[in-house]
Chains A and B, each alone.
Chain A
Amino acid sequence: MNFLIEAFQFIFDPANWGGSGGIGVRLVEHLWVSLLVVVIAAAIAIPVGFLIGHTGTGKSIAVIGSGGVRALPTLGLVTVIALSVGIGLTAPIIALVVLAIPSILAGAYSGFEAIDRRTIDAARAVGRTEWQIVTAVELPLGLPLLMGGLRSASLQVISTATLAAYVGGGGLGGFLFTGLRTNDYPQMLAGSILVIALALLSEGFFAILERVTVPAGVRAGLPTSVRARPSRSRATAA
């Protein structure tokens, strides 16, 4: 309990906020790395996921591939990449993009897959082109699952971006490494609390984003609202 109080004292001590290794700078570094990684990973995974979801081919490769990638230990990957490209942000960004892709990819293609095939067939029957089907039918209907993928990828990236500090990439991980080596556990805990705070902020951000971006018609049709209703009318059974 004492550690927790000391950790909050560390966070709220203005002396710890300034300077190149201060909380302010590291918080910004951490957010910047995370944002960059999610944007890059999304730019790669969303088009590929949509292609897989729309055409229905290559899914098994994506499942096996992303399953394998998920098993890669990120610290090892960061170190191996840093040994060839040098210290700095490049290595953690590449390793974190690899970490983030599977969740986003899964969200993108499973969003398309979950759509009732009859809806897509109907769109095709009324003369929509393939491109129109993707943009006007599959994209909005698949958006909730894609958002879920982005949300979990962001969470993973924010928590794992602590490893950037291992190779001179900055970020909140610095507090963890310094705290561990100097037995300054309140500092370690303070670093962890800040990472948790960022993760919660990201969760909140995506919760709002989901509300804003998912069309009202799609939300009305989500399984959660279906479950709330009785599936069969009692009157007809009697």
Chain B
Amino acid sequence: MFTAHKGRLAIGAVAVGAVLALSGCSSSNPVDPGTSSGGGSETTLVVGSQAYYSNEIVAEIYSQALEAGGYTVDRQFQIGQREIYLPEIESGAIDVFPEYIGSLLQALDSTATGGTEDEVYTALQAAVPDGVSVLTPSAASDQNSWTVTKAFAEKYNLTDIASLANVTEPINVGGNSELETRPYGPSTLKSKYGITTAGFTAVEDSGGPLTVKALVDGDIQLANIYTADPNIASNDLVALTDPDGLFLPDNIAAVVSAKVDSGAQEILNNVDAALTQEDFVGLNAESVNDQKSSAVIATEWLKANNFD
């Protein structure tokens, strides 16, 4: 009797758990198209962002600029991966998304190789699906880099990636585990520049604070950190220049659906034209160092650049 009662309790607990889990799935879909099918007299534009603070700041700037231009905006921020949101833009569930031209091109066309900003932008326009367009890229970019500490750079007189060949001590590389197999990873450093790396330490925070700390501590000597990361300046790091285009240029550009009319496109183009690299790193620093919310950062930037 006692054991049977306990058994029922256990089944009940599992059932409740399953219901909770399932309801969690249904209500937390961040790209639910139901919220965007408003239509009617005034257009609601759905603005999305990656689950990356810097991307969210840009999305917030887009949103507030569009609102200032008389559009109604539905924010669907912090959507994870490109594979998930790209089909949503294609289907019209998301209308505006800040993107990085090089990474987006590589995601759409895995055979894409390096090139200048213009080449990448041209290739990208051809590669995006029908109904989706990429607006004019900004001068601001957030791209991959090979980064070292300033002390290490001075010791071996490092400027560009090729100069890593000067280094005589073992170079331990750190970054997300997939970096090991990326086209700009350690094997390419070896084949293209003859740079031998000693080992690879996987630190999975995408060049975030843990990677920076490992670099500063000397656990790793070479890390993959995004160039718009304010930690580069605040921790005395040096992003090695990339004259050969090992990394694709990752300038910011708005990816828009067919629902975004010419007026809205103009607003977004004006924003991207006004956003400089210096501004962009500054915006990220306000988030990382001053812990300001993306909404506050966006409002201040738009005000300073006369968009309000």
Chain A residues contacting B214 (CB-CB under 8 Å) are 86-87, 168
B188 at the interface (CB under 8 A from A): no
Residue of A nearest to B206 (CB): A181
Residue from the list A88, A165, A183 in contact with B177, Cβ < 8 A: A165
Given the contacts A87-B219, A183-B83, A168 and B174 also touching, CB distance less than 8 Å: yes
Residue of B nearest to A224 (CB): B3
A183–B178 alpha-carbon span in the complex (Å): 10
Chain A CB count within 10 A is highest, among B2, B3, B199, B204, for B204
B266 at the interface (CB under 8 A from A): no
Given known contacts A86-B214, A168-B219, A183-B83, what 12 new A-B pairs fall within 8 Å (CB)? A21-B180, A82-B213, A83-B210, A87-B203, A87-B213, A165-B202, A165-B204, A166-B205, A166-B210, A168-B201, A182-B181, A227-B3
Given the contacts A86-B213, A183-B83, A168 and B178 also touching, CB distance less than 8 Å: no
A174–B83 alpha-carbon span in the complex (Å): 21
B209 at the interface (CB under 8 A from A): yes
B307 at the interface (CB under 8 A from A): no
Q: How large is the interface on A (under 10, 10 to 19, 20 to 34, 35 or more residues)?
A: 20 to 34
* B82 nearest CB across to chain A (Å): 10
Within A79-108, the residues touching B (CB, 8 Å) are: 79, 82-83, 86-88
Q: How large is the interface on B (under 10, 10 to 19, 20 to 34, 35 or more residues)?
A: 20 to 34
A interface residue numbers (CB < 8 A to B) = 20-21, 79, 82-83, 86-88, 165-168, 170, 174, 177-178, 181-183, 227
List 9 A-B pairs, minimum CB-CB distance, nearest first: A178-B177, A87-B214, A166-B204, A168-B201, A181-B178, A177-B204, A86-B217, A168-B203, A182-B178
In the complex the two chains form, is B209's CB within 8 Å of A86's CB? Answer: no
A236–B45 alpha-carbon span in the complex (Å): 82
* A70 nearest CB across to chain B (Å): 17
Count of A-B residue pairs with CB < 8 Å: 63
Q: List 16 A-B contacts (CB under 8 A).
A: A21-B180, A21-B202, A79-B205, A83-B210, A86-B213, A87-B201, A87-B203, A87-B217, A87-B219, A87-B220, A167-B210, A168-B203, A168-B219, A181-B176, A182-B181, A227-B3
* B46 nearest CB across to chain A (Å): 24
* A84 nearest CB across to chain B (Å): 9
Chain B residues contacting A166 (CB-CB under 8 Å) are 203-205, 210
In the complex the two chains form, is B204's CB within 8 Å of A20's CB? Answer: no
B53 at the interface (CB under 8 A from A): no
B interface residue numbers (CB < 8 A to A) = 2-3, 81, 83, 174, 176-178, 180-181, 199-205, 209-210, 213-214, 217, 219-220
Given the contacts A87-B210, A87-B214, A87-B219, A20 and B200 also touching, CB distance less than 8 Å: yes
Chain B residues contacting A168 (CB-CB under 8 Å) are 174, 201-203, 210, 214, 219
A182–B179 alpha-carbon span in the complex (Å): 10
A58–B3 alpha-carbon span in the complex (Å): 32
A182–B178 alpha-carbon span in the complex (Å): 7
In the complex the two chains form, is A82's CB within 8 Å of B210's CB? Answer: yes
A21–B180 alpha-carbon span in the complex (Å): 10
* B4 nearest CB across to chain A (Å): 12
A170–B177 alpha-carbon span in the complex (Å): 10
Chain B residues contacting A20 (CB-CB under 8 Å) are 199-200
Chain A residues contacting B177 (CB-CB under 8 Å) are 21, 165, 174, 177-178, 181
Residue of B nearest to A84 (CB): B213
* B229 nearest CB across to chain A (Å): 16
A165–B180 alpha-carbon span in the complex (Å): 14
* B191 nearest CB across to chain A (Å): 18
Residue of A nearest to B203 (CB): A168
A227–B202 alpha-carbon span in the complex (Å): 53
